[in-house]
């Protein structure tokens, strides 16, 4: 047995592709899916604008338009309900693969749609796949990645959203909506191929007792150096111990026990606020209604599609900066910088819009509200877009991550539907300026709660984070032996 293991080690060491590149390949499959998710969210911004034209092949009412933009939120709920069971029973890889199928089917149906019903069904299929992936993405990336690369890889989720929104609006500007849909849907084909090239995650294989496959998968992702081998053995031994020592109780009692654990319910409450903040900041409203929103902000001084692409470029450039900033600065610092910039910019943009409406701004400067509006896009993309997804990959103990992601993701889905569905009515009744004020107030309220609830997670092991929620103090910084112990426990929890 030992001889065969030695031969396996030699074979793995001979591979020329570094562990980092293998992890990057696996993460790229999830990233491509999230690019498609960004395109899903932003696509109504060009679809609805083209369908409003007199010669459009599909005629829509304002009610149809709001449902086409918001039905993703309802579909997300169904996908997120299924996700924890799929992740636990089918595994990370198969869940990622299956989530691409309804998304591809949705885009295919959208390409051939001849009426509002087909458009709604296609959007629902896209949203169901998004729901599966919304819960699966942080879990998959965290388990694909080694601890030193985990933060950087989790930050790519925000980048993927922004890039997908830019892709959808560029294709929608250059192409008719049917070929634009075909181009956007190709992201899921690439995602399926990339995910299929990588093995199942080692922690999942260990959790279901497939230890030989777990060893192969772990070495594929991490290599065979001494530290990696030690981490692998700690993970396997911990899993075997948990299997032999776990008492046999009913699933209901087990669920009640989990819900009562502070290391579960405290992170869940925090993620609820994080995802409410994510949606109430206009994260999905702006891409869906960029053209009419920016048309009012610019008062017609800038061509609508030009202003839409201005927003997309600012969002994309900021997302690139966020990937770097999230790894350099504390999570709380980045989040609250984003919140403060967003709130100030929204109130300032609303004030300028009110002043313009009452004639206090000369005609030559009617475009001036564009500046704080773009600052708002910068602020929410810098802090409010990436931090919830980075925190979601760190804040839950891996034993409860599927369940915690599912419950907190329900709030993401519900708020998605509510905010996007009510946005057209809000724009009509109180205008863009009034809507900006509402968003600014809600962001400030959520930010206030998170200021007291959210701990700093950067630079902490998973063990330290869990101890924080349990109310247990650690002396990791002053005791070297205890530090080594916590590092081993972190590796266990990564499994």
Spatial separation of the C-alpha atoms in residues 322 and 71, rounded to whole Å: 29
Question: Cα–Cα distances in Å, from 270 out to 192, 398, 400?
Answer: 32, 16, 15
Summarised one tens digit per residue, pLDDT across range 420-466 is 888 888 888 898 899 999 999 999 999 999 998 888 877 675 556 76
Q: Please compute the mean of the pLDDT values over residues 469-492 and round it to a whole number.
A: 49
Domain boundaries, the chain: 12-198+247-459
pLDDT of 240 > 90? The answer is no
Summarised one tens digit per residue, pLDDT across range 262-300 is 778 888 889 888 988 988 898 888 887 888 888 888 888
pLDDT of 350 > 80? The answer is yes
Domain 12-198+247-459 class in CATH: mainly alpha
Within 8 A by CB and 6+ apart from 254, the residues are none
Spatial separation of the C-alpha atoms in residues 60 and 55, rounded to whole Å: 12
pLDDT at residue 491, as a whole number: 46
**Letter string b/e over residues 119-150, b meaning 16 or more CB atoms within 10 A of that residue's CB:** bbbbbbbbbbbbbbbbbbbbbbbbbbbbeebb
Question: Cα–Cα distances in Å, from 198 out to 30, 33, 135, 425?
Answer: 11, 15, 19, 45
User: Percent of the chain scored above 70 by pLDDT?
Assistant: 86
Segment among 129-133, 209-213, 324-328 with least mean pLDDT = 324-328
Residue found by looking up tokens 């610019």 in the block: 298
Within 8 A by CB and 6+ apart from 475, the residues are 482
Spatial separation of the C-alpha atoms in residues 91 and 2, rounded to whole Å: 29
Summarised one tens digit per residue, pLDDT across range 42-90 is 888 888 888 888 888 788 888 888 888 888 878 888 888 888 888 888 8
């Amino acid at each position: 047995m030992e001889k065969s293991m030695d031969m396996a080690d030699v074979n793995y060491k001979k591979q020329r592709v570094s562990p980092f590149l293998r992890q990057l390949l696996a993460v790229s499959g999830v990233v491509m899916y999230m690019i498609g998710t960004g395109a899903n969210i932003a696509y109504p911004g060009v679809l609805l604008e083209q369908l409003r034209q007199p010669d459009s092949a599909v005629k829509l009412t304002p009610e149809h338009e709001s449902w086409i933009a918001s039905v993703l939120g309802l579909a997300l709920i169904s996908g997120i309900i299924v996700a924890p069971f799929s992740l636990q029973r089918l595994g990370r890889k198969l869940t990622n693969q299956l989530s691409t199928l309804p998304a591809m089917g949705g885009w295919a149906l959208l390409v051939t749609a001849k009426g509002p019903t087909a458009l709604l069904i296609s959007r629902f299929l896209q949203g169901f796949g998004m729901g599966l992936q919304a819960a699966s993405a942080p879990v998959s990336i965290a388990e694909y990645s080694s601890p030193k690369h985990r933060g950087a890889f989790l930050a790519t989720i925000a980048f993927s959203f922004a890039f997908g929104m830019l892709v959808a609006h560029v294709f929608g500007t250059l192409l008719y909506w049917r070929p634009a849909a075909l181009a956007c849907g190709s992201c899921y084909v690439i995602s399926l191929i990339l995910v299929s090239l990588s093995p199942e995650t080692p922690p999942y294989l260990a959790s279901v007792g497939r230890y030989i496959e777990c060893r192969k998968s772990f070495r594929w992702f991490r290599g065979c150096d001494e530290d990696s081998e030690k981490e692998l053995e700690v993970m396997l031994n911990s899993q075997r111990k948990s299997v032999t020592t776990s008492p046999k109780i009913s699933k209901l009692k087990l669920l009640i026990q989990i819900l009562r654990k502070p290391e579960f319910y405290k992170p869940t409450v925090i993620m609820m606020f994080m995802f409410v903040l994510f949606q109430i900041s206009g994260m999905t409203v702006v891409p869906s209604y960029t053209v009419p929103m920016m048309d009012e902000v610019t008062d017609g001084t800038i061509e609508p599609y030009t202003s839409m692409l201005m927003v997309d470029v600012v969002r994309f450039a900021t997302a690139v900066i966020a990937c770097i900033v999230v790894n350099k600065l504390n999570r709380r610092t980045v989040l609250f910088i984003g919140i403060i910039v967003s709130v100030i910019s929204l109130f300032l943009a609303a004030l300028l819009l009110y002043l313009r409406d009452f004639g206090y701004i000369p005609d030559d400067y009617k475009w001036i509200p564009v500046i704080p509006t773009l600052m708002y896009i910068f602020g929410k993309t810098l802090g409010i877009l990436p931090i919830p997804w980075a925190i979601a990959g760190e804040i839950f103990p891996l034993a409860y991550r599927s369940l915690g992601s599912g419950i907190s993701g329900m709030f993401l889905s519900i708020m998605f539907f509510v905010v996007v569905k009510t946005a057209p009515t809000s724009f009509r009744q109180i205008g863009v300026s009034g809507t900006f004020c509402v968003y600014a107030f809600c962001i400030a309220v959520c930010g206030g709660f998170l200021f007291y609830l959210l701990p700093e997670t950067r630079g902490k092991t998973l063990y330290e984070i869990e101890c924080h929620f349990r109310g247990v103090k650690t002396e990791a910084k002053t005791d070297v032996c205890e530090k080594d112990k916590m590092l081993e426990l972190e590796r266990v929890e990564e499994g």
